[in-house]
Amino acid sequence: GALIDPAIVSSGSAGPAGMAHRDYVHAIAFHPTEPMIATSGYRNVKLWRRNVNNIAGSWPIPADVQAWTATADGLEVGMAVASKGLVVANSLTGAERGIVPLEGQAVSALSIFQAEPKWIVAATADAKIVVVRNADLQIAHRSEPLPAAITALSGELSGGKIAALLADGTVRLLTIAADTGVVAIAAEIKSDAGAILKISGHGSVLLTVAGPRTVQNWKVEDATQVNRFDLPADITAVDLNSATDRAVFVLADNTASLWSPKDAKQIAVLTADLSAQRHLKQGEQRKAILDARVTVLKGQIDENDKEVVAQKEAETKAKAEVEKFTPPQAEAKTKYDAAVAVTAAAKTALAAKTDDEALKAAVTEAEKAEAAAKDVLSKADSDLNIAKKSVDFATQAIVRAEQRGVERKQQHEAATAEATAANVVVEERKPPAAAPAVSAFAGLIGDGRYVTTADASGTLRVWNAVDGAAIDVLPGTQLGSTASSMKTAGTVALLATADSRMVARSAFPEWQMTASLGGSEDGGESVFVDRVVSLAFSPDGSLLAAGGGEASRSGQLTLWNVADGTLVREFPNAHSDTVYGLEFSPDGRFLASAAADKFVKVFNVASGEFVRAFEGHTHHVMDVSWKGDGTALASAGADNAIKVWNVETGEQARTIATYTRQVTSLQFVGMQDLFVSSSGDKRVFFHTASNGQPAREFKGSTDYVYRAATNPDGTLVVSGGEDGSVRVWNAADAAEIVTFAPQP
């Protein structure tokens, strides 16, 4: 659904209503665990939540309801109430449009036509069909009694027909005249598998259930059998949509099964507990991150231990050198001192006899000897000092390495404890994820493109009718009572509860704005100095980082509390130009930022302190991403380059020059050594971080690509660009799955 800020009203100056932001939406971030989105615009960030617990309508129904149904659009319900008759009411509010008296006759089944005049069809206890005009709620026709009591009615069938299931296990195809509502029997259907127990019809197809596991597919046109198939358990409910060739069955073992009636082929068993599986996947992802951190720390400890050994060896060697050079230095010092004394004596003698040539020669020789001795001493001093400095350097290096080793071992111990706890969580989540989801009711919605199943608690599950893939889970926590029956219409599931209430739930809940951060878009004070162009949630979803700034003047970086929308901190002077990219480290301890000032920087999340800068790009840095184990960063540049960095040292590991225009985005794929990236040259690639080589190209984009991303498990790649299309590929083979083109 659309994201709409109700505060944005239509005006000539501010633009139309029905928008999320007044200005361009510059960034979107998805919460890692909750149905929440963050969006950013001009001096403002908004938080949106999909209200999965929302009840669209809830109202009391009479305790003596005998049967009920809903219109095809889900806007109204028809109820057969013993004390009133046929009641037509708004499905969301229960407001009654009218009541049709049925002369005290009990009603066993109801059906409402979609085509005009939208007949309301009631099966009464006297085996008659009562046809009611929808417009004025007047009875148009009462049929003659059918051969046996009517136990069920199908939905509207092609040719103005409807099927009636009789108590004798047979079915009558009935035609209802569009102008008069007169009912005529068109055909009789009997099953060779036994008495027919259930029916479901739509369009040109009628399904019957006999045996009670045998399904037979009948042509409405001439009541001939098309095919038949058997299900593995007794069938308790069935719903059909002939337009999409899908039928969903609820079985006695509380599972649901999706079939193609035309092909008599099972598409899927609808037992995946998506909520539990997502919960498990989140636990596994956290465990993988913590396991990777344990591995990295263990490697660092091993390297540090090697460093300690190497420095101790260097210290031992340096001490040996000191011992080696100490005697020569002492000897050289003694000789030098002696030479100095000889020179002094010669000079004293010459001073007494200044013209004595022999004494002059003696002084010259003494000075030469002193100079030579000094050179020897200087060399000996140098050798000894170098050896001593080597000892000092090695000793200090040992102290640093041992201190670092203690810190790393403490970190490793803590990380191991976290990883162990995470593993316990994963093991606890495995049984619920493997357990089949329970289904008590099922129906096809959205013109047959989706399946909705529900259990007695009212928990709704939405499935793709094409392949049976689980799409969504909507908890039943707000239902207030167990569900006794369900009808689906349009995109709504209507549940009648045991405490006599009608509850309407949308299978596709709307997104609602829950917070506006920073200030108003319409002027006034704001924390943000200009447009916010980058957003990122922390791995646990508790924090939101926002980046922006004034072009060529400042780079703004802020951190927000997601729960209450308060500002946690601003990072002063984080960058000198606009912050274009943000991502938290996998363990959530650090925040990486990429900016137009050509820098990538890392900050400590807890303290806000600057940790390290990564310099090397020659133009704006457009995006940044962490490798899953936290050891490397990759950055995307407007200099057409991708750079991979060593997080520990800050050194550049490699530059990747695949693209011919700006690299606009990148993202590491889960815990893999791969990252996806996009460029203004229309291309999207997987690259291997460790060697910089392209691993796979995702083709099809026709213009500048602004962003590419993967889902958490790395099975899908998505991109969006200047052509207005969103493309989805299979990550494994780069096959395009679907393209969402812009709507006119």
Q: Is 117 left (phi over 0), alpha (psi -120 to 50) or beta?
A: alpha
- Asked if 602 and 624 count as a contact pair (C-beta separation under 8 A), the reply is no
Rounded to an integer, what distance in angstroms lies between the CA atom of residue 469 and that of residue 723?
A: 30
For residue 178, how many C-alpha atoms fall within 13 Å in the half-sphere facing its CB? 9
Per-residue confidence (pLDDT) for residue 715, from 0 to 100: 94
Per-residue confidence (pLDDT) for residue 452, from 0 to 100: 97
Both structure tokens of 440: 């008590």
Alpha carbon 465 to its chain centroid, in Å, reads: 22
pTM of structure: 0.86
pLDDT at 480 over 80: no
Q: Which residues contact 258 (CB under 8 A, 6 or more apart)?
A: 246, 247, 248, 266, 267, 268, 269, 270, 451, 463, 465, 468
Say if strands 621-626 and 567-570 run parallel, antiparallel, or are unpaired: unpaired
Element counts in the chain: helices (H) and strands (E): 2, 52
Per-residue confidence (pLDDT) for residue 10, from 0 to 100: 60
Torsion angle of C-alpha atoms 47, 52, 53, 59, degrees rounded to 10: 120
Return residue ranges of the chain for CATH 1.10.287.620. 276-432
- pLDDT tens, 342-386? 999 999 998 999 889 999 999 999 999 999 999 999 999 999 999
Residue 103: band (very low, low, confident or very high) from pLDDT cuts 50, 70, 90: confident
Per-residue confidence (pLDDT) for residue 17, from 0 to 100: 66
Return residue ranges of the chain for CATH 2.130.10.10. 27-51+520-740
Beta bridge partners of 606: none
- pLDDT tens, 706-741? 999 999 889 999 999 999 999 999 999 999 999 999
- pLDDT tens, 7-25? 887 655 555 667 899 889 9
Rounded to an integer, what distance in angstroms lies between the CA atom of residue 201 and that of residue 167?
A: 18
Q: Write the CATH number of the domain with boundaries 276-432.
A: 1.10.287.620
Q: Which residues contact 476 (CB under 8 A, 6 or more apart)?
A: 454, 455, 457, 458, 459, 460, 483
Residue 483: band (very low, low, confident or very high) from pLDDT cuts 50, 70, 90: confident
pLDDT at 60 over 90: yes
Architecture of the domain whose range is 27-51+520-740: 7 Propeller (2.130)
Mean pLDDT, the chain, whole residue set:
95
pLDDT at 523 over 80: no
pLDDT at 88 over 60: yes
Residue 200: band (very low, low, confident or very high) from pLDDT cuts 50, 70, 90: very high
Report phi then psi at 648, rounded to 5: -65, -40
- Asked if 665 and 534 count as a contact pair (C-beta separation under 8 A), the reply is no
Rounded to an integer, what distance in angstroms lies between the CA atom of residue 487 and that of residue 68?
A: 9
